[in-house]
Amino acid sequence: MLKKQNIVSSLLSLLLLYFCTFSNFFNFTNALWPIPQQWSKGSTTIVLYPSVDIRLSIISPTIEDLSIKTHTIFNSAKNRFQQSIIQEKYVSPNVKFNISTYQPKILQIVEIEINDGNSELGLGVNESYCLSVPDNNDDNKPLTVKITAETIYGALHGLTTLSQLIYYDNDFLKHDIHHERYIPFAPHKIVDYPSFSYRGLLLDTSRNYYSVDDILKTIETMSWNKLNVFHWHIVDATSWPVVSKKFPKLSEKGAYDPVTMIYTEQDIKIIDEFAKLRGIRVIPEFDMPGHTHSISKGYPDIIACINEQPRWDLYAAEPPSGQLNPAKEETYEFIRALIPEMASYFSDKYYHAGGDEIKTKCWEEDEDVENYLANNLGSSSETLLAKIIEEVQNTVISSNKIPMFWQETVDTHNLAITKDAIIQVWFGNDTVKNVIKKGYKVIVGSAEYWYLDCGHGGWVGNNINGNSWCDPYKTWQKMYSFNPINGLTKSEAKLVIGGETLLWSEQADPNNFEQLIWPRASAAAEVLWTGPQNLDVNEALPRLLDFRFRLVARGVKAEPLQPLWCVLNGGCDMPNF
Amino acid sequence: MLKKQNIVSSLLSLLLLYFCTFSNFFNFTNALWPIPQQWSKGSTTIVLYPSVDIRLSIISPTIEDLSIKTHTIFNSAKNRFQQSIIQEKYVSPNVKFNISTYQPKILQIVEIEINDGNSELGLGVNESYCLSVPDNNDDNKPLTVKITAETIYGALHGLTTLSQLIYYDNDFLKHDIHHERYIPFAPHKIVDYPSFSYRGLLLDTSRNYYSVDDILKTIETMSWNKLNVFHWHIVDATSWPVVSKKFPKLSEKGAYDPVTMIYTEQDIKIIDEFAKLRGIRVIPEFDMPGHTHSISKGYPDIIACINEQPRWDLYAAEPPSGQLNPAKEETYEFIRALIPEMASYFSDKYYHAGGDEIKTKCWEEDEDVENYLANNLGSSSETLLAKIIEEVQNTVISSNKIPMFWQETVDTHNLAITKDAIIQVWFGNDTVKNVIKKGYKVIVGSAEYWYLDCGHGGWVGNNINGNSWCDPYKTWQKMYSFNPINGLTKSEAKLVIGGETLLWSEQADPNNFEQLIWPRASAAAEVLWTGPQNLDVNEALPRLLDFRFRLVARGVKAEPLQPLWCVLNGGCDMPNF
């Protein structure tokens, strides 16, 4: 008995030795990111035709219901996928071609089947999909991947997942294999759907300017992370890059450069269309009434407390100060004319109207406001705020949009925001709970967890230690640990429709923004797609390392997380003391 | 009397109004970085021939003393300068062409005069220069810049400064001026010299690999900052990218990729030569006996405690663990054979031999060390350390090099390091003082101030909060505030020959290293060139903002420090509450 135990134990040791010597430190399979809800895999390696054919079919009711839009999205996705198969040469540091699991089967066809050929991209659209990658074929049929989805948007995610299953190897010829791309661990069976319907990224293009190409590249990278909302914080106190036909001086005077650092209607439509083809909604934010100093460059009459110095801190959250003047009729005329124009440039149903970080002192020292308050008994800066936000909200709604606002509107100020609105919370879960209790749908993006810009010290000022309110840098682990529904009841949690990571651009511009966004926004993307339950940094680390290398292979300047040695070998965890 | 006062006061207000309306927020002149020791300027704007002629002459003793080396350096600098004049189109956000100060004078010639045509680049070489840019010419002579210097290396700095005086304007034609580059605030008279003779940057190419081009670009950017030592931390525990003829398995097994992620002798010589042409010394570091796990991949017999897991922390400062085995004769043979080969690849007189972060437990658990200690009465891990460092030092010296070591060798361990050596201190000023008291020359680079890699959280491990020992991120202000000679007497301060900022590559690679280095290393460069006395972040901020834009214009992905609004307007300082 004892002897038998010894033999078993010796065999186990040998097996372990084999495992440690001949396989990677990580027990590694395809590094899917975000990881699908259900995923079973096998142990076969198959190869891929570079000219894999992609076909689309509609289940019901008939092929006539395939809208032109769906058809355009499909064709665009098909082209991208076929291009990527030809161009992408991703050699993973972890996943290596294994001749012993190779079956000479060639994947030739991707068959996409959607149920509804006429669905519109929008909040709550069905994004689920099933993906099956076979490792064998019936006698006469070519090897075929099947993606089934309710909508074309689910099908896009299926293709994204499929693209992550594929690896490149330039050593195939030594095995006399005349293909260069392979899928290991086939067959794959994946059932997948998002945990949250709003999965966003905010980019601030006012504090520093980004070109249209920078934005397109960001949206493309978002799609690889199954993020689906580009929250375009397009204007702010520092600059107004958007060209308005009704108020041309906004960009002529308020952009950093009226020719080279602007977004025209055409630019916006290019971006909006590019995003839609990737299942990504573009929601613009025109923050009002605060953060509007840039309007004063062209239209000084409607802005109060313009660039107060040096005590800007009394008038604004950061320099330069300036708020829409709520005591002037011209301000309301401006709102009623500008919002419909700006809203018309974007196709999504939602329009973010801001409403954050108001300083009442800005108004209280303004002569027009003083007169207004003296002439209107019972009025105050608070009633003026309510008045201006009401005008903003009504104009958004009459422009056929649903408004979004920052938390301050309902949490700090208790303004009469429609219950249709989405409230964006940048504080923690307590504020989420408060806002939900008031009956609002919420998106989250806690400054403590999901602000991508924090951690490079204070940009304002000249103090040597240069701390910032939102230090330290949020590591990917910190971002990954954020639970959007922490502390909420089940019914409360239903009102958290999603969240977003945010890149404010005080210390970001085209030179460093990709490094700040990726791969940390990927960590948030997995929280929002897969859901915060059962996430584990230990399981995630090797997958994220690998996914980050795939992003780099695709041209994204994603920040490295560890020495390559750790990527290849593991063994870089904190020891348990 | 009262009336007169009123008139004066009104005039002053008008003047102030004029100043605030028509000039920039900053009272801005050419943004020289680092700022010269003495600099007087005028108020004239002149323009530049794109084909400006650059001439070199030698004062004494005769033209025959111009060495080929000096001639080569001059020609290379001349070509670079002429190329940059044609290619660089730097439009400053702050300095604008001012037609009212324009004199139609065309700068045609740069005359460089050096005293010693035969000087060798090395520690303490004379780098001073005088630069004069005229705003007028004698009747028959073309407008000529004069740079006078003791050596060609001083002259290089003069050209660097001159290049920063030049701005581009594409609006000249509207003034009917047919040149595109101008120098404002002429005449300039500059007398300049470095405060410290060693002004370095460390790049760690082991934890993650950088291509030869990445390194060349970094060295080029260093030269624009008047930095003069590239401390190449070329190998470490994680990988050994250097190809050795004597020990080929070092890179065959120890590089991340034995073909694509290596440095050959030829690569090194290209880098060394490229640097010398820019007045930059390349000092390699081959750290021993710690940080040598990568050697174990090819030569496991001479490394103790190879990759101990999971308690790597007991054996090394970071994973993977491994130290040269001091109990084995093969180790000493390895040292005696490897160092001369590696030393021969580099032209500088100095060779950094490491000596940091030894963990004695690594040796104490090694069987060979145990036997050695048992057989050699009075021996200990400390005497073994002394023995191995002695071997290293003797080999460095017999290879005609002067050794550099990390502080631990003399501060922690009190080893018999030659007084010729330079000791590198990465702790604070207390350690600097200790090491100096022992009679050593010192270079500084406090982890608290000058580590460029800190602040992105812990890379080791999976803890959610992910703090790191060297958090937070060191802002440029923090770096700028570091005084290398703080707390030292005058005679002690003389032994501080300089310092360096350091980029360790746990979380850096070619995707983000430029953003981590620049412009923060520029802040340190000014401390080391201009000297820590009289530096003021308020004065420096607009200059650094402008200089950073020049770096960006030259293709360097330098991190932005503030929104462009602040660059253009100022007004982004911390208010005094």
**Residue B7 in this model has a pLDDT that exceeds 90:** no
Task: Name the residue facing B559 among A256, A512, A557 (closest C-beta).
Answer: A512
**Residues of chain B contacting residue A503, judged by C-beta atoms under 8 Å apart:** none
For residue A397, give both structure tokens.
């709604």
**How many C-beta neighbours within 10 Å does residue B375 have?**
9
Average pLDDT score, chain A: 92
pLDDT in tens, B241-284: 999 999 999 999 999 999 999 999 999 999 999 999 999 999 99
Is there a contact between A561 and B459 if contact means CB atoms under 8 Å apart?
yes
- Known catalytic residues of B are 357
CA A451, CA A457: separation in Å to the nearest integer?
13
For residue B559, give both structure tokens.
């991190």
pLDDT in tens, B495-538: 999 999 999 999 999 999 999 999 999 999 999 999 999 899 98
pLDDT in tens, A92-104: 998 888 889 998 8
What is the rounded average pLDDT of the residues B416-431?
97
For residue A564, give both structure tokens.
């390559």
- The answer, for B538 touching chain A at a CB cutoff of 8 Å, is yes
Residues 308-337 of B with CB under 8 A from A: 309-313, 318-320
- The answer, for B562 touching chain A at a CB cutoff of 8 Å, is yes
CA A562, CA B459: separation in Å to the nearest integer?
6
Least confident residue range of A65-69, A218-222, B4-8, B437-441 = B4-8
CA B65, CA B184: separation in Å to the nearest integer?
37
**Residues of chain B contacting residue A508, judged by C-beta atoms under 8 Å apart:** 560
Q: What is the pLDDT of residue B117?
A: 87
Please name each of the domains of chain B with its CATH number: 22-192 (3.30.379.10), 234-272+281-345+357-390 (3.20.20.80)
Task: Name the residue facing A466 among B478, B568, B576 (closest C-beta).
Answer: B478
Q: What is the pLDDT of residue B15?
A: 43
CA A54, CA A305: separation in Å to the nearest integer?
59
Say if strands A422-425 and A402-406 run parallel, antiparallel, or are unpaired: parallel
CA of residue A435 relative to chain centroid, distance: 23
**Residues of chain A contacting residue B515, judged by C-beta atoms under 8 Å apart:** 511-512, 515
- The answer, for B553 touching chain A at a CB cutoff of 8 Å, is no
How many angstroms away from the CA of B175 is the closest CA of chain A? Answer: 21
Is there a contact between B472 and A475 if contact means CB atoms under 8 Å apart?
no
Is there a contact between B477 and A460 if contact means CB atoms under 8 Å apart?
no
How many angstroms away from the CA of B510 is the closest CA of chain A? Answer: 9
How many angstroms away from the CA of A491 is the closest CA of chain B? Answer: 28
- The answer, for B430 touching chain A at a CB cutoff of 8 Å, is no
- Known catalytic residues of A are 357
Percent of chain A residues topping a pLDDT of 70: 93
Interface size A-B, in CB pairs within 8 Å, comes to 215
pLDDT in tens, A383-407: 999 999 999 999 999 999 999 999 9
Task: Name the residue facing B311 among A307, A475, A575 (closest C-beta).
Answer: A575
- The answer, for A471 touching chain B at a CB cutoff of 8 Å, is yes
- The answer, for A260 touching chain B at a CB cutoff of 8 Å, is no
Residues 339-378 of B with CB under 8 A from A: none
Which residue has tokens 């004892």? A2
The residue in chain B having the minimum alpha-carbon distance to the alpha carbon of residue A206 is B563
Task: Name the residue facing B239 among A309, A511, A565 (closest C-beta).
Answer: A565
- Residue B144's beta-bridge partner residues? B109
What is the rounded average pLDDT of the residues A366-385?
96
- The answer, for A15 touching chain B at a CB cutoff of 8 Å, is no
pLDDT band, very low/low/confident/very high, at A548 (cuts 50, 70, 90):
very high
Is there a contact between B565 and A320 if contact means CB atoms under 8 Å apart?
yes
Task: Name the residue facing B573 among A461, A477, A505 (closest C-beta).
Answer: A461
pLDDT band, very low/low/confident/very high, at B2 (cuts 50, 70, 90):
very low
Least confident residue range of A119-133, B21-35, B365-379, B545-559 = B21-35
3 state SS of A333: helix
Which residue has tokens 């009504």? A394
Task: Name the residue facing B310 among A478, A506, A573 (closest C-beta).
Answer: A573
**How many C-beta neighbours within 10 Å does residue A173 have?**
11
Q: What is the pLDDT of residue B29?
A: 74
DSSP B175: G
Q: What share of chain A is helix, strand, coil (3-state, %, to 5)?
A: 40, 20, 45
**Residue A12 in this model has a pLDDT that exceeds 60:** no
Cβ(A192)–Cβ(A37) under 8 Å?
Answer: yes
pLDDT in tens, A249-289: 999 999 999 999 999 999 999 999 999 999 999 999 999 99
Q: What angle do CA A196, A200, A202 make, to 5 degrees?
A: 155
Q: How far, CA to CA in Å, does B575 sit from each of A131, A292, B534, B536?
A: 58, 21, 22, 17
pLDDT band, very low/low/confident/very high, at B63 (cuts 50, 70, 90):
low
**Residues of chain B contacting residue A518, judged by C-beta atoms under 8 Å apart:** none
In DSSP notation, A226-280 reads: T--EEEEE---SS---B--SS-THHHHHHSSSTTTS-B-HHHHHHHHHHHHTTT-
How many angstroms away from the CA of B405 is the closest CA of chain A? Answer: 24
- Give which of A252, A246, A242 is closest to A284, Cα–Cα: A242
In DSSP notation, B489-514 reads: -HHHHTTEEEEEEEE--TT--TTTHH
**Residues of chain A contacting residue B238, judged by C-beta atoms under 8 Å apart:** 563-565
Task: Name the residue facing A511 among B455, B515, B569 (closest C-beta).
Answer: B515
Cβ(B456)–Cβ(A455) under 8 Å?
Answer: yes
Q: What is the pLDDT of residue B175?
A: 80
CA A506, CA A453: separation in Å to the nearest integer?
8
**Residues of chain A contacting residue B505, judged by C-beta atoms under 8 Å apart:** 563
Q: What is the pLDDT of residue A347?
A: 97
- The answer, for B470 touching chain A at a CB cutoff of 8 Å, is no
pLDDT band, very low/low/confident/very high, at B64 (cuts 50, 70, 90):
low
For residue A540, give both structure tokens.
């995630």
How many angstroms away from the CA of B46 is the closest CA of chain A? Answer: 26
Q: What is the pLDDT of residue B62?
A: 61
pLDDT band, very low/low/confident/very high, at A577 (cuts 50, 70, 90):
low
pLDDT band, very low/low/confident/very high, at B464 (cuts 50, 70, 90):
confident
CA A503, CA A523: separation in Å to the nearest integer?
14
- The answer, for B447 touching chain A at a CB cutoff of 8 Å, is no
- Reported ipTM exceeds the 0.90 cut: yes
**Residues of chain B contacting residue A457, judged by C-beta atoms under 8 Å apart:** 472-475, 477-478
DSSP B212: H
CA A185, CA A135: separation in Å to the nearest integer?
9
CA A337, CA B87: separation in Å to the nearest integer?
46
**How many C-beta neighbours within 10 Å does residue B220 have?**
17
Q: What is the pLDDT of residue B54?
A: 83
**Residues of chain B contacting residue A466, judged by C-beta atoms under 8 Å apart:** 475, 477-478
**Residue B569 in this model has a pLDDT that exceeds 90:** yes
What is the rounded average pLDDT of the residues A312-335?
97
Better pLDDT: B466 or A248 = A248
Q: What is the pTM of this model?
A: 0.94
Is there a contact between B311 and A465 if contact means CB atoms under 8 Å apart?
no
Q: What is the pLDDT of residue B549?
A: 97
Q: What is the pLDDT of residue A228?
A: 98
How many angstroms away from the CA of B122 is the closest CA of chain A? Answer: 33
Q: What is the pLDDT of residue A14?
A: 44
**Residue A49 in this model has a pLDDT that exceeds 90:** no
Is there a contact between B467 and A466 if contact means CB atoms under 8 Å apart?
no
Residues 47-106 of B with CB under 8 A from A: none
pLDDT in tens, B363-409: 999 999 999 999 999 999 999 999 999 999 999 999 999 999 999 99
**Residue A38 in this model has a pLDDT that exceeds 90:** yes
- Residue B498's beta-bridge partner residues? B198, B443
The residue in chain A having the minimum alpha-carbon distance to the alpha carbon of residue B308 is A571
CA A36, CA A33: separation in Å to the nearest integer?
8
For residue B495, give both structure tokens.
């032994």
pLDDT band, very low/low/confident/very high, at B136 (cuts 50, 70, 90):
confident
Task: Name the residue facing A512 among B320, B538, B557 (closest C-beta).
Answer: B557
Please write down the HEC assignment for all residues of A451-479. Answer: ECCCCCCCCCCCCCCCCCCCCCCCCHHHH
**Residue B16 in this model has a pLDDT that exceeds 50:** no
Q: What is the pLDDT of residue A23?
A: 37
CA B22, CA B16: separation in Å to the nearest integer?
10
- Give which of A451, A406, A93, A33 is closest to A222, Cα–Cα: A33
The residue in chain B having the minimum alpha-carbon distance to the alpha carbon of residue A509 is B560
**Residue B102 in this model has a pLDDT that exceeds 50:** yes
In DSSP notation, A301-321 reads: GGEESTT--S-GGGT-SSSSP
How many angstroms away from the CA of A143 is the closest CA of chain B? Answer: 35
**Residues of chain A contacting residue B539, judged by C-beta atoms under 8 Å apart:** none
Cβ(B185)–Cβ(B30) under 8 Å?
Answer: yes
Is there a contact between B256 and A568 if contact means CB atoms under 8 Å apart?
yes
CA A215, CA B81: separation in Å to the nearest integer?
35
Cβ(A245)–Cβ(A542) under 8 Å?
Answer: no
What is the rounded average pLDDT of the residues A81-90?
89
